Structure 1
Amino acid sequence: MGQLTVPNSRIDHVAMGLSGLCLVHCLATAIMLGLLASAGGFLGQPIIHEVGLSLAMILGTIALGRGAMEHGFVLPTAVGALGLGVMAGALTLHEGGNEPLFTMVGVGILALGHRLNFMAAE
């Protein structure tokens, strides 16, 4: 039976999309919590943040690792690893405070790593 292979560029696209959804989630939650505290209750649940961020970190690690093995460039992986580190650090912070800021910065850096990874594969 043949092995299912997914092109790395597709994983990068999915990971970039997930990063974008994460950013939208963070911004929407902050806006909703600011305007209507009760309306943002569901999106503000810690489990949503933890699961989404963990999934983004897993996909990011897979995509960047595969990209480095395929094209041999280290820069996309290094940039992405910095973003993953910031995201992991955000998971250790208490909800509220600086946690959303660190999450958004980490997601942005990771998205840049995915973009560099995608460009290096072309």
Structure 2
Amino acid sequence: MMNVARLDAVAIGLSGVCVIHCLALPVLVAFMPVFSQFSEAEWVHKFLVLLALPISGFAIFRSSSQPSKALFITLVSVGGLLLFSGAFIEAFHQIEVVLTLLGALTLSLAHLIRWRHSHLKPE
């Protein structure tokens, strides 16, 4: 089984991929048009969300009963909802990038806080 610290690291990495997809890919398209097929592809965004949400959900259930668990669950839930809304709710298409960035950063923050908390615990 994957330990919680490794799970947090994977989740942070996936959030980073979301941020790169939203921010860096348009710049790459400007310099290398071959990347244009990935810049606006809806399936890429949906795939990343469908990959990130189960990992974050699994991380919630792997959480111990630490005092910061409520904060972690709240941040993961809000971040997941933002990602899902940006990827799957057509009414939010105009603000998809904003929702995705906020969701990815919120998920990263949740996992970073828990990872930091687990590494600062006295042994």
Q: Which TM-score bucket, shorter chain as reference? A: 0.7 to 0.9
- 1:28-58 deviations in Å (ceiling 9; x for gaps): 233345x369544321211111111110111
Identity percentage of aligned residues: 22
Residues 1:10 and 1:70: Cα distance change in structure 2 (over 3 Å): farther
- From 110, 113, 117, the counterpart of 1:116: 113
How many positions carry a matched residue from both structures?
116
Give the equivalent residue in structure 2 for 1:66.
62
Alpha-carbon separation, structure 2, partners of 1:85 and 1:54: 12
For structure 2, which runs of at least 5 residues remain unmatched after alignment? none
- From 37, 41, 45, the counterpart of 1:42: 37
Alpha-carbon separation, structure 1, partners of 2:17 and 2:72: 21
TM-score, scaled relative to structure 2: 0.80
- From 67, 71, 77, the counterpart of 1:81: 77
- 1:80-116 deviations in Å (ceiling 9; x for gaps): 1111111111121368621111101110011101111
For structure 1, which runs of at least 5 residues remain unmatched after alignment? none
TM-score, scaled relative to structure 1: 0.80
Cα RMSD (Å) of the superposition?
2.3
Query: Aligned letter for 1:41?
Result: S
